[in-house]
Every structure is written in structure tokens, then in C-alpha cells.
Structure 1
Amino acid sequence: MKNEFINWYIDNRPAYKHLATKVEVLLRELFDSNDISYHMITSRAKTVESVKGKVAGGKYENPKKQIHDFTGIRVITYVEDEIDEICKIIEEIFEINSEHSSNKSDDLGIDKVGYKSVHYVASLDQERLKLPEYRKFSDKCFEIQVRTILQHAWAEIEHDRNYKFSGKLPPTLGRRFKILAGVLEMADREFNDISNQIDLISESTKESTAKGNYDIPLSSTTLSKFLESRFSSLWSDGFQLVAFDTGQAVAELERFGIKTLEDLNNIIPNDFETSLRELGGKSILDAPLAIRIMVTNDYHKYFGKAAHDDVWIWMGQGDPTESAERKFFEKYGVDWDDIYEKYGARLVEAEELDS
């Protein structure tokens, strides 16, 4: 009976592996299209050796029907709130076997700490199974695990160490592991709360800057929202604001003397947006845009006081001393010969630093 089952699994493993890939790709597409953030998605079909080990103890009378994780998919999130969004998508698009699905957090109760994860036993819905490329999966289920990075780290370490201790840790080490799980649970909640606070700051900044209120402290989040709002007509006309290292830009702005968004707004030339349009190119990186504002305002102050070492991140189409870029800066009195001679600045494109 056992050998018959193993031979069956060897024959069917390619189909389970194909199913894993299909479900992984489907989840990626759905999360991305719904703008749902996640860290990573992995999938696998159980190895033959793993299946042999699972049935070795004689636990299963009918392993073909009782083992639900021949195909397994794991979704790792950054913070706990993302789990709820991801679970909602999973429950909407798959048939969920509620009897064999579980939330390990609920299983722990209020007085214990330990392994936390959401486990689904699922299958493809009937509408999808009607499609030719999915039809062969009609009798197959799969397991989906959803957990945060910290939950994943704890579970992986515990699993590895438990294996080394033949499935049972000494009591003192087991207790320390449980305490560590509690610490990580608290850290998970803190990361989640901080993430929510950043979102609130971002939304508040967006609303304030849309009303022309720039009396807001400078930070990476507020800078990005300011640029998004301040030059909104550019983005409406097909230009694209691209995120790039606002941390360095904020540090340079602070050395330049900029403390609030109001300070930054006050040094933007009146015709700055028109000059950006004349440059050509539709992609504008946020950090180089902030740096461009400083250079046009006072390049002596920027290169002499604010610039990070001798590197100036910029956004341009080729050498900034030539063609449209040169005309752009010379319009605001920027003297390239003076910059090279006096400050020895090395100008590099953002892509070079990013590689």
C-alpha cells in the first residue's frame, strides 16, 4: 500500500509542481494589480523523500485524500496589516476548505506565544477549472501559508533547531524560544504601528500640501508628497515622479538650511516647472529633483555646504554640462567651470549609484 502510494506521488508530482507555479503566478498578479504590498511569494511541491517521511508512521489511511500540502505556497508580508488584505484576496478567488484551514494565532489563545501563521487548504474555483490550462487540477488542493517576515524567521529557526534535537527541545531552551516568540510578536506589532503612522503622515501631508499648507517638517515621506503635490500639473500631463533615495536628498536639504516644506517651496524659481518641461524626458526622480532646486537656488551653497561628499546625484539625458541640461542650469546662473574648478564635484547619474 505504501509503495503504491509513493509510486503514485512520483507520477503525479510534476502536476503538483505545475500547480504550485500556477498559483504563485496568479497570486503575484492579483496582489500587484490590487496594489497590495508583500515581501515575497514562494511555492513548491513536496519532495518524494518528504512525502515518504510523512506517511512513515502510518498516520494516514488514505494519504491521497488526507495530505493537503503536496503543493505549498508561502506568502511573506512586511507587517501584520498586510496579512488581512492578502487573506481577503485568497478567500475571494479560491475555494477554501474551512475544516482544514486555521489561524495559528487563534489556536494559541491569549495566554501562550509561539508559532503564528494563517494556513489555508484551498483549491481552484469552478470557473477557473473550466479553463483548459487549469482543468487538470480539478482534483487537487494546495496549502497557502501567510505570515510576516518576523513570524517566518522565528518559525524557520524553531523548525531547524527542533529537527536537530529530534523534534523536542530541552525545557530551558524551549522556554527561551517561547519568550523570544513573544518579543518578536511585540516587535511585529511595533513595526505594524510605525507603518500605519507613516501612512497617516503621508496622507496628512498630501491633504495639507494640496491646500497650499507647507508648514510641515521635512522628512523622506513629506518630501515625496510635497513634490507629488507641488508639481501635480506635470504628473497630470504624463510626466512621472519616480522614487529614488530621498534619504540623501533630505540630509542635503537640511545642510542647505531647509527645515520645512515651506522653506523648500520658497526657493523654487517661479519658472521652474516651465524649465522642467523644456528639458524633455518624462521620468523625474524625486531626490534629484529636490537637489536640482538647491543647485538652481545657490550652487555655491549646495556644493560648498550641502552636497554629499563630492557626488551630486542628478537627473539628466547625458552630460549635464551639455545641450538642454546646460541651458537649464545656465538659465539660473550656474557656472559649470566654476563648479569643477572650485568644488571638484563629480557628477554621476542616479542609475550609476543604483547599480
Structure 2
Amino acid sequence: MNNIDLKIEEFKKYYHANLAYYNSALTFLIKRIESLPNVEYVSGRIKDYDECLSKFDRKYLPDITSGKKDYRIFDSLSDFIGIRVVCLYLRDVNIIRKGLSKYFKEVAITDKTVQIESTDDKFGYKSLHLDLSLNDKYSKKTQFAPYANIRFELQIRTVIQDAWSVLDHKIKYKKSIPQSLKRRINRLSALFEIADDEFLRIDDEIALEEKKISDRIKEGGAIENDKPLDVFRFLFVALKYFPEHNFIEFKVDGFVQEILDIKKEFTESELNDVLETFLHRAEEIAENEKKALNPYTKIRYCLYLFDRILFSSMLSTYQKKSTLPTK
């Protein structure tokens, strides 16, 4: 048996003997990473045995001389444990990278974003690849000690980058395709990149609109006439009457859309007038029914009392009966 065959046999025994340990390490590492801010989701894997050998044969074996006997196949596999972190926005990549320093130290870095942006003829997905291991502080802690010598590869991607990587995987071994197809792939890749930038800009603008609401409330801003209702203007009015309620984004969005589906031109000032005029009646109904009504239900009552025909769909038949005068 020649030297390489001995090394393969050695690696085979090592792989199967330690697989359970590395799966345990993977679970441990994912739990640490999931706790970091701005992480949307985390996934990981242990590289398949055949995949390990294939990568070693392709990438590392040519650099190892036939006479060299003091190497291990496993030592060449920095991505034996691979973890992928997905975040929403480009800004989150660096936030997560900084957060990782709580537990880990960087052994090596591959920034595919820099690689791709430095060329004009290369296509592929952007992401940040880090080779990590536990930092000195945590490697000494009892519960961390079993994994003190673990080195793993971690990729940080946005949701958009992750989506592109799925497509990129289909074409990554087809670099000799016709130039016309390469051009089309580059155009598609550019669209993904634009989408990443636009989602970030939109998120920034949403944060700015939310700050405007907060500032208007703090400064006692006046209700603005004839301004079409949207999520932000709804919140400005609603928080005036329900300052303690935590309005959840997706619920607000759905509720505002329901109002606009009924009356497209509904305005901020109209909503304020409706609540100012009829909220006391909604409170009386809650008291008569001996029920604690949430703000959305109270606003539904107010809208219905404002125009029983137009906003008829806002209440159930039973709720409509409760608005009738009691004898």
C-alpha cells in the first residue's frame, strides 16, 4: 500500500471515529451563533466523506510531494465543519462579524465580495468567508473546552446573496460556456446586487419615517389635513389615543390596507376625527359587553359608527348589534 493509500485509510478511520464528536460541535457552534444580533437564520453541515477526499485530491494533493509522509488529510480541510449565517441587509454582515468576536477568533478570511468587485468579467455570489476557532477566553471555559481545537468555516450572506448562491451552484462548473450566456449571467447577477442595495435603502428610509413619527409625537405635532393614510400616519394617530399599545408592523400594515381597500382616499385627519368623535362610544360598548377590546377592535367600532354603510364589513353581525342603543 503506497503512502497516499495509507493516508486515505488513516483519514477514513478518523472520519468515522470522530463523526459524532464533530456533529456535537456543530450543534454547539450553531447555538452560540444563533444568539448573536441581526442573525436571521443559521445552518451547518459536516462535509461528506467522499466530498472530503475529492476536495483534498483536487486542491491539496498536487502540492504534497510524493516523499512527504508527515501530513494528515484532515489538516487540509478547513471547512470540514461549515456554517452559513444569513442576514437581511448588507449592513448586518459587519455587525455579525463583530458579534462573532465574542466567542471566536479569525484564523483566515476570504471576502468574495472584494474578489468579485475587483474584476469586471467574473460572476458568482458575494459573501464573507471566515475560518474561525474559539477565542482564548472561551476555549478555557469548562463547557467550551471540548471544542477548543475546533476550526470551522463560516459564511455570512444576505438573503439575496444566499438566493443567488443557489443559482450560482448550478453554473459554477460551467465556466467555459459561450460569452453570450456569460453576459446574461452577469446581467442577472447585477440585478441581485441592485436588489440587495435597494432593500437596504428601503429599510433605511422606513427607519427614517418611523423616526419622524416619534419626533412628531414627542413634539406634539399637529394632525395634517388631506394627507393620505399610510402605515406611518396611522401609527401617528393611533399612538395618540393608544400610547401604551405595542403596534406590531405586519398587523398595522394589514389593518391599514383593509381601511384603504374600503376607502382609498382615507386620510390621517379623517382617522383622527373618527377616533376623536366615536372612541368614547367604543369604550362604552366594551364596558357594556364586559370585554377588554384591543385598539384595532375599538378603531373598527369607530369606523363603523362613522359610516355604517361604507365600513359595514369592519364588524361582525353580533358586533353591529352591540352598537345599537340599549332600551
**TM value normalised by structure 1:** 0.72
Residue 147 of structure 1 aligns with which residue? Answer: 157
Residue 116 of structure 2 aligns with which residue? Answer: 108
The total of aligned residue pairs comes to 301
Cα distance in 2 for partners of 1:9, 1:320 equals 67
Instruction: Confirm whether residue 81 of structure 1 aligns to residue 91 of structure 2.
Output: yes
CA RMSD of superposed structures (Å):
3.4
What displacement does 1:320 show? 6.7
Q: Which runs of 5+ in 1 are unaligned?
A: 314-318, 338-355
SS in 1 for 2:141: coil
Residue 177 of structure 1 aligns with which residue? Answer: 185
Residues 277, 147 of structure 1: CA spacing in aligned structure 2 closer, same or farther, 3 A cutoff? farther
Residue 133 of structure 2 aligns with which residue? Answer: 123
Letter in 2 for 1:218: L
What displacement does 1:161 show? 3.0
Residue 68 of structure 2 aligns with which residue? Answer: none
Instruction: Confirm whether residue 196 of structure 1 aligns to residue 204 of structure 2.
Output: yes
Q: Which runs of 5+ in 2 are unaligned?
A: 1-6, 65-71
Residue 18 of structure 1 aligns with which residue? Answer: 24
Identity %: 21
What displacement does 1:42 show? 1.0
SS in 2 for 1:268: helix
Letter in 2 for 1:106: V
Higher Cα radius of gyration: 2
Cα distance in 2 for partners of 1:300, 1:225 equals 20
Once the two structures are superposed, residues 224-250 of structure 1 have per-residue CA deviations (whole angstroms, 9 ceiling, x without a partner) of 454345422x34xxxx54445333321
What displacement does 1:95 show? 0.7
Residue 346 of structure 1 aligns with which residue? Answer: none
Q: Pick one of 218, 223, 228 that aligns with 2:229.
A: 218
Range with bigger deviation, 124-133 or 151-160:
124-133
Letter in 1 for 2:259: L
Once the two structures are superposed, residues 173-230 of structure 1 have per-residue CA deviations (whole angstroms, 9 ceiling, x without a partner) of 2332222111211121112111211111111112112323232642224434543454
Residues 178, 198 of structure 1: CA spacing in aligned structure 2 closer, same or farther, 3 A cutoff? same
Residues 64, 253 of structure 1: CA spacing in aligned structure 2 closer, same or farther, 3 A cutoff? same
Q: Pick one of 11, 27, 36 that aligns with 2:33.
A: 27
Cα distance in 2 for partners of 1:202, 1:52 equals 53
Instruction: Confirm whether residue 261 of structure 1 aligns to residue 236 of structure 2.
Output: no
**TM value normalised by structure 2:** 0.78
Residue 147 of structure 2 aligns with which residue? Answer: 137
SS in 1 for 2:130: strand
Residues 263, 290 of structure 1: CA spacing in aligned structure 2 closer, same or farther, 3 A cutoff? farther
Once the two structures are superposed, residues 41-95 of structure 1 have per-residue CA deviations (whole angstroms, 9 ceiling, x without a partner) of 2111112222122123361554333321111111112221222222221234311
User: How is 1:1-355 mapped onto 2 (pairs within 5 angstroms)?
Assistant: 1-31=7-37, 36=38, 38-57=39-58, 59-60=60-61, 61=64, 62-97=72-107, 100-112=108-120, 114=123, 115-163=125-173, 165=174, 168-213=176-221, 214-215=223-224, 217-224=228-235, 226-228=237-239, 230-232=241-243, 234-235=244-245, 240-254=246-260, 255-256=262-263, 259-269=266-276, 271=280, 284=294, 289-290=295-296, 292-299=298-305, 301=307, 304-306=309-311, 312=315, 330=322, 334-335=323-324
Residues 67, 276 of structure 1: CA spacing in aligned structure 2 closer, same or farther, 3 A cutoff? farther
Letter in 1 for 2:166: E
What displacement does 1:280 show? 6.6
Cα distance in 2 for partners of 1:7, 1:175 equals 46
Cα distance in 2 for partners of 1:71, 1:222 equals 49
